[in-house]
Amino acid sequence: MKKKQWFITYTILILSIAIAYSLSQSNPSVSIITKEEEVIPLEQEISLTSYELWIEQKDYSLSLYEPRKGAYLGAYILSNKNLQFDIKSFENRTQKSHGIYIRHLRLGDPFPLDWILECASQMKTPHLIIHPPSKAFPYQEQLLEGTAEELGEFFVPIFVQFYPDFSHYFGNHIEYQDFFRKAYTIFKKKAPNISMIWSLSSDYIYESHLYDPGDEYIDWIGLNLYIEADSNQEKKLDVLATLDEFYLMYQHRKPLMISQLGISHYSTVDHRYYIEQANGLLKDIYTSLKTRYPKVKAVHYMDFNNIEIQSFDLGQENFCVTEQDELLHNYQNLILPPYFLNELEVQYKGFLQEEWIRVNDFIYEKDGSFYVTEQFFINPYIKKKFSTFQLEPLLSREYPLYSLDSIAQAIKYHLKVDSKQNRIYLITDRS
């Protein structure tokens, strides 16, 4: 009997040490107190809730041309011959002014001065997507100075989306980072009027950290999101999950934008129209920006038919939103709210305000108190912002849960529960 008791005691001790070690490895900044652990039996009430957790980001400093609230409307129309590539024609169709217009440019090509002045004359902000001069030799440093001087010549606000899709430069990511940083440094010296965007393709979110130039060399972070026509409901869910992953990964660092958005409603793959699916995705994305993605401060629709402009059957998708009446009517209604901005806000750089960070975690409830899992501590904002603090895990079903009340107290925040919106807010304690 004594041997059996000794064996049980020894086993429990080993398991406790293993759990504590695992927790310390997954989040070394968190101190775990095990002396007051409580093991909840399976039959005891502890329930998974549908609450979302948001934490206040205090004293967030606005970036260059970042609006305090809302999201800029932008568009690309220079491949749409049905509009004569004309801003007024596009806005007559959409029935709302857009503040930002896009043009592609290869590094070293003649600067589109006439187009820049045309945008300025119509009170529009130019957005230049600068591509490499060639695929074989993308990093030509001697071309940066001239482009920078042209960008700064008239001192008008310009967005520069530099080398937009790093998947085109797979190989030496260090070389990509170095060149991006050099470009940022030179552009900012010669053209302080430009706001620099580092962007990534929706297909390569998980590789993006390798190519990340760092916060010192970024003003905005963009997502290039092109959605092919598909009737598969799972594809729609994948698109929304991709947007979610991008947001959760980068929301705490810089203002975000959907720098290129194209939703196909027709494909030559099967020669079918997908109007209903395209309308659904348009609605899901635009209506969710205010409620779920408040740090997305701009969204640019790419209004072109890729079937017409790509040769040799390379273009299989029609992303045009203005040529199909049902899609156009839907787009008009979605962009109508004043949340979508049509004028650039230039005066708020460095302005301090509160923002909200969405935390990706399950929220549990027991006896009116709320608990989170270890996922809370993996959140990039939590890891970056808060130093070591002590926690008392509540063990349940072989995984640890942590009291939100205890967390709030440790970081000098307080909880606010909004039952109507199914949200829990961690708010700065201003007392």
pLDDT of residue 310: 75
SS (HEC) of 227-286? ECCCCCHHHHHHHHHHHHHHHHHHCCCCCEEEEEEEECCEECCCCEECHHHHHHHHHHHH
Choose between 315 and 312: higher pLDDT: 315
Residue 235 domain flag? yes
pLDDT at residue 217 greater than cutoff 70? yes
User: What range defines the domain where residue 197 resides?
Assistant: 64-347
pLDDT digits (tens, 9 = 90+) for 250-300: 999 999 999 999 999 999 988 999 999 999 999 999 999 999 999 999 999
Reference 187, options 223, 163, 168, 169; nearest CA is 163
Handedness of CA 87, 92, 98, 104 (dihedral sign): negative
pLDDT of residue 307: 92
Same domain for 252 and 269, yes or no, is: yes
Same domain for 212 and 337, yes or no, is: yes
Same domain for 366 and 341, yes or no, is: no
Residue 300 domain flag? yes
Choose the weakest-confidence range: 22-31, 33-42, 217-226.
22-31
**What average pLDDT score do residues 70-87 get?**
96
Same domain for 224 and 259, yes or no, is: yes
Same domain for 326 and 365, yes or no, is: no
Same domain for 229 and 336, yes or no, is: yes
pLDDT of residue 114: 95
How many domains does the structure of the chain reveal? 2
Domain boundary among 347, 369, 398: 347
CB 265 within 8 A of CB 316: no
**What average pLDDT score do residues 106-119 get?**
96
pLDDT digits (tens, 9 = 90+) for 355-385: 999 998 999 998 899 999 988 988 888 888 7
Same domain for 128 and 263, yes or no, is: yes
pLDDT of residue 22: 44
Same domain for 276 and 185, yes or no, is: yes
pLDDT digits (tens, 9 = 90+) for 174-212: 999 999 999 999 999 999 999 999 999 998 898 999 999
Crossing angle, helix 87-94 and helix 325-335, to 10 degrees? Answer: 90
Which amino acid type is present at position 273?
Y
pLDDT at residue 389 greater than cutoff 70? no
Same domain for 312 and 359, yes or no, is: no
Same domain for 395 and 340, yes or no, is: no
Choose between 431 and 116: higher pLDDT: 116
pLDDT of residue 11: 46
Domain boundary among 283, 318, 347: 347
